[in-house]
Structure 1
Amino acid sequence: MPLPVTTLLRGILVVGFLVSLAAQIVVGGGLLFGDGTAPLPAKVVLSAAAVLGFACVQVAIVSVWRLVSLVRQKTVFSPVAFRWVDAIIAAIGGVAFFVLLAGYVVAEVDDAPGLILLSTVFSLLIAGVALIVYVQRMLLAQAAGFSAELEAVI
């Protein structure tokens, strides 16, 4: 991967991490300490879902950073890469769960059953992204096998 592309990607990852960190603080604190009319348990659950959801995004960003480092070192076919891809899959799954949880809590507090359906659809779309990354993980495993076979032949 060319250095300018890697540098640009890392810049985007840094900005994304900082924005998610700021959102984690603002949204998490705003939901918990805001002057909304929701009961305290709902505020706590929504705040926790927001904070943990943004933490999942941050885990994914750090994992992509590490994968970019492995690409630069030309060791992307090592077993270490699979751990980072697995972390990305788990983080995306976590985001899907927290979106569903937040939608359920808001729907119960505001008596909006359509919101449960909407958050379920969003969660399924997010889970679909996790499945796409899982398929890419399988392709990485296949490519790593081909790389090992090629090294054995050489």
Structure 2
Amino acid sequence: MSEQTVLAAVVSGFGGPEQVALAEVPAPRPAAGQLRVKVTAAGLNPVDGAVRAGVFGGAVRDGGVYVGLIPHHAPVAERGIRVEEQEVAADGAHLARLVALADAGELTLRVAETFPLAEVAKAHDRLGTPGVRGRIILTV
């Protein structure tokens, strides 16, 4: 890896956890007013597994609503689908308050299991296990 690339968990197609592998990909380049942060851990949730398995597959039924979270990257509206964009911005003061609550034990975080990034396929497999309570965490 170089400064030009980053290690990423890449889903190569719909299916089981075997569709997830680590790959070197081009490092994202922040645009004006943006910054790139180093990720040391990330959570998986059931939606990640469902998208990988093809349950969602990014499909929106005719007449439905698509809401994108990346500004200026929404698809063209078709088949009566309403397309909207929602920008998400971090609130530093609010995040600091959440960290303080977690540190004080007033906000509990439920973690089912933690995996190193190299075991991303195993983490996706665990995600599909019935009865998982809490987040599946990937560490870098």
Specify which structure has the higher proportion of strand.
2
Normalised by the shorter chain, which TM-score bucket?
Answer: under 0.3
TM-score by length of 2: 0.22
Specify which structure has the higher proportion of helix.
1
> Which has the higher relative contact order, 1 or 2, with Cα contacts under 8 A spaced 6 or more apart?
2
TM-score by length of 1: 0.20
Which of the pair has more CA radius of gyration? 1
